[in-house]
Structure 1
């Protein structure tokens, strides 16, 4: 009944926003009102917030302050709707605008989302520097939830650099800030982030404790929380060679996953699991799906699994072919990342100069 009520509320809210979009002519006054509405609904209805923001057809006609707010809210809404931010450089406008005004909350948020963009571009060192600058502004503004999000992302950056002690500390800081913000759901997710770090440290008992803790806050856990918990436990059981339990959990995850784009990773996990179990036919079934995916890294990992299976079958020729395919795809991915990072940086620099020019011109 609770979930039904939330669905009805979301539907009514979307209808209300649709009425705002169709009736509003986006005058300066109405634009500020619209942005206020978006800020008010961002946490509970991020999909509706994004829909409303995307209904704005000529954002460049806004005042500079409204445009800075608009770009900040648009990046925030895209992030909350799990969209790729790697090509989103408009947040730089918000950073430059709010940096020059006495608004630590919006400046801190702008810097945080700028860090998110850099993190999605695999610019880990740059993202870390941006997050650390955002932290000062967010502390000044008392933005505890944003500080929790920030430390959670720094924990992931530390994981990527194998700085596991630092990653655990950042997860603990994230939990502390989420408690300050009374955000129980993100406390639960932060425990899972900590569990991921313990998994990388091969401390499986600690992983299980983190998962158990993450599932202890609600009578009925959200689907995304249980899916990520079961996936992490499945990896633990795979590591401990308790393959039947890992299989049960991975199949459960695949059935419950609400995001279709994430299912390919579950196919890959099952393919690898069945490879380790020596169940060749079932492994090939899931790995073949991965070979048809657009994600080159997924295909590379699938070919790597097939190569290992061929080695087990003493089929050296086939193993060599699959290994070549895996390495070639991985090489393409790495080169694409480097090229995209350079292109993104060039575009970002041009756009930043343009934004600074606009702001400087207005200050004269």
Structure 2
């Protein structure tokens, strides 16, 4: 009786302690929710106080997943590499009736999909977030979502849609009273208009952003000056562009951004023939830690020396630029390979641990059964010993045989487990070797395909090469590059439609973002001829008059 009372006391005490711990976790999560927007570093410290977050269930688990993702993102930590954490929040809140948290969950899920390069899934997540927040007054969050949708549309070459998204983000930032958000929205709209070559609208929105910006030390001020400089430079107003670039450099506080402004200033000087000033700007950027800026500086020095007819030094600068880019590509491939190896090693350890745990559980259950049998048999033998001694001896022998069979089965199970582990190790080794082979092959393909194609495309965009003078190998390099980057775009469209070589090249250049003006230069013809070529291509692609050729090719 006393034993039963002791067990009941332990059960009630354990439940009381568990409830107390749960209540403290809920209070801690509420504190994090109150401060994560304004003090993300404090929120991160509070979340680290949770001793057993893996034991949280239901709403508390979803709250923890969402708050941890927010805190990591706002502290600029590595939070957007895996979607397993935020999926917990998405799966819970989408049917919970809490529309604000559901919208936030889908917003962060969309950001993760952007990092993973899954554009369609990211767009779907952002649109679902807007659906949940439609009747809510989370204006700043809605502004952020429209801003990210604009980034996606701009990346797909859909300039008008991106501009509309950025304008909506400005509207919601105004409702939220976020003046800095409005400034960034104006800059985004200006960039959209600049990408579509609507320079007047781009200039107006960039100036509006400067007028809204009261803080002269804010970093966005420099980027607005740079954007204004690019706009007037494209209009041929080089002196005004140089003034804007100098203003961007003077108001800049970030070292890397300042280097980008020096590159823009150097390009302006180079365009007007002031090679000494241009070279000084490029020299300022060539020996920096940022490999992309350093590579860009060497590339501009290559173009500068080529204009000065100093071909020997131009080639040396070109080799330096290409070598830096090759180092970056090799580092990226190495990091990807290392990540895959770590993943397979982690999977292998998980499998081995699961196998060991399963074997231990089976052994524990099996030995428990054996102990129960032995205890039962022993009790029965003791009870019947005096009456049936001979029968007891036979039963004992029978039980000993059973024990031997069980021991043999245990040995067999252990051997089978060892053989399975060895087989899995062999499979993992083969997979690792295959990864190395495929990685090496991908590097060789990229090196052979991308370099020549990028050089030819650069020559086409700069007007140094026209289609009539292109070699078959140069055309084929562009087609191979498109197949590599856009999932066999050329091969698929050539198979699905009957296109001439000229039509195929025109579709490829449109896919790569060449404007009508650039096509006019590339094909060395008038705008009317470009228009007729596009109409002919539309008919070959079986499009109606009201269908957009550029949109069809962009999403093909």
Normalised by the length of structure 1, the TM-score is 0.72
1:75 aligned residue: 69
TM-superposed CA distance for 1:61, in Å, is: 4.7
1:60 aligned residue: 53
State whether residues 84 and 120 of structure 1, in contact with CA within 8 Å, keep that contact through their aligned partners in structure 2.
Answer: no
1:40 aligned residue: 34
State whether residues 265 and 298 of structure 1, in contact with CA within 8 Å, keep that contact through their aligned partners in structure 2.
Answer: yes
Which is higher, the Rg of structure 1 or of structure 2?
2
Matched ranges for 1:78-97 at <5 A: 78-81=72-75, 85-87=79-81, 89=83, 90-97=85-92
What secondary structure sits across from 1:215 in the alignment?
Answer: helix
State whether residues 128 and 154 of structure 1, in contact with CA within 8 Å, keep that contact through their aligned partners in structure 2.
Answer: yes
What secondary structure sits across from 1:162 in the alignment?
Answer: coil
Residue 135 and residue 342 in structure 1: after superposition, are their counterparts in 2 closer, same or farther (change >3 A)? farther
Matched ranges for 1:126-165 at <5 A: 126-139=121-134, 141-165=136-160
State whether residues 183 and 213 of structure 2, in contact with CA within 8 Å, keep that contact through their aligned partners in structure 1.
Answer: no
Residue 150 and residue 275 in structure 1: after superposition, are their counterparts in 2 closer, same or farther (change >3 A)? same
Cα distance in structure 1, aligned partners of 2:158 and 2:337: 24
The equivalent position to 1:183 in structure 2, one of 171, 178, 197, is: 178
Which one is further off, 230-239 or 148-157?
230-239
1:174-216 alpha-carbon deviations (Å, 9 max, x no partner): 2233334343332232121100111112222211211222234
Cα distance in structure 1, aligned partners of 2:160 and 2:219: 27
TM-superposed CA distance for 1:44, in Å, is: 3.7
1:312 aligned residue: 307
Normalised by the length of structure 2, the TM-score is 0.50
Count of residues in correspondence between the two structures: 323
Cα distance in structure 2, aligned partners of 1:185 and 1:268: 26
- Indicate whether 1:300 and 2:277 are aligned: no
Cα distance in structure 2, aligned partners of 1:267 and 1:56: 46
Residue 291 and residue 95 in structure 1: after superposition, are their counterparts in 2 closer, same or farther (change >3 A)? farther
State whether residues 73 and 80 of structure 2, in contact with CA within 8 Å, keep that contact through their aligned partners in structure 1.
Answer: no
Cα distance in structure 2, aligned partners of 1:249 and 1:53: 45
Residue 120 and residue 278 in structure 1: after superposition, are their counterparts in 2 closer, same or farther (change >3 A)? farther
- Indicate whether 1:252 and 2:250 are aligned: no
Cα distance in structure 2, aligned partners of 1:176 and 1:249: 28
Cα distance in structure 2, aligned partners of 1:293 and 1:62: 48
TM-superposed CA distance for 1:246, in Å, is: 3.1
Cα distance in structure 2, aligned partners of 1:146 and 1:118: 18
TM-superposed CA distance for 1:163, in Å, is: 0.7
Cα distance in structure 1, aligned partners of 2:264 and 2:65: 37
What secondary structure sits across from 1:202 in the alignment?
Answer: coil
State whether residues 291 and 303 of structure 1, in contact with CA within 8 Å, keep that contact through their aligned partners in structure 2.
Answer: yes
TM-superposed CA distance for 1:59, in Å, is: 6.2
Matched ranges for 1:267-278 at <5 A: 267-278=262-273
Cα distance in structure 1, aligned partners of 2:111 and 2:119: 10
2:515 aligned residue: none
Matched ranges for 1:175-254 at <5 A: 175-217=170-212, 220=215, 223-254=218-249
Unaligned runs of 5+ in 2: 1-19, 351-556
1:287 aligned residue: 282
State whether residues 68 and 97 of structure 1, in contact with CA within 8 Å, keep that contact through their aligned partners in structure 2.
Answer: yes
What secondary structure sits across from 2:102 in the alignment?
Answer: helix
1:111 aligned residue: 106
State whether residues 215 and 221 of structure 1, in contact with CA within 8 Å, keep that contact through their aligned partners in structure 2.
Answer: no
Residue 249 and residue 144 in structure 1: after superposition, are their counterparts in 2 closer, same or farther (change >3 A)? same
Cα distance in structure 2, aligned partners of 1:57 and 1:310: 61
Residue 219 and residue 305 in structure 1: after superposition, are their counterparts in 2 closer, same or farther (change >3 A)? closer
Residue 321 and residue 173 in structure 1: after superposition, are their counterparts in 2 closer, same or farther (change >3 A)? same
State whether residues 263 and 281 of structure 2, in contact with CA within 8 Å, keep that contact through their aligned partners in structure 1.
Answer: yes
Residue 57 and residue 148 in structure 1: after superposition, are their counterparts in 2 closer, same or farther (change >3 A)? same
What secondary structure sits across from 2:111 in the alignment?
Answer: helix
Structure ranking higher on relative contact order (CA contacts 8 Å, 6+ apart): 1
Cα distance in structure 1, aligned partners of 2:41 and 2:136: 26
2:493 aligned residue: none
Residue 218 and residue 287 in structure 1: after superposition, are their counterparts in 2 closer, same or farther (change >3 A)? closer
1:213-257 alpha-carbon deviations (Å, 9 max, x no partner): 223446556613423322221222332343343333333333433
TM-superposed CA distance for 1:146, in Å, is: 1.5
1:16 aligned residue: none
Instruction: Kindly report the root-mean-square deviation, in angstroms, between the aligned alpha carbons of the 2 structures.
Output: 3.8
State whether residues 219 and 254 of structure 2, in contact with CA within 8 Å, keep that contact through their aligned partners in structure 1.
Answer: no
Cα distance in structure 1, aligned partners of 2:40 and 2:210: 24
Unaligned runs of 5+ in 1: 1-25, 355-364
State whether residues 171 and 193 of structure 1, in contact with CA within 8 Å, keep that contact through their aligned partners in structure 2.
Answer: yes
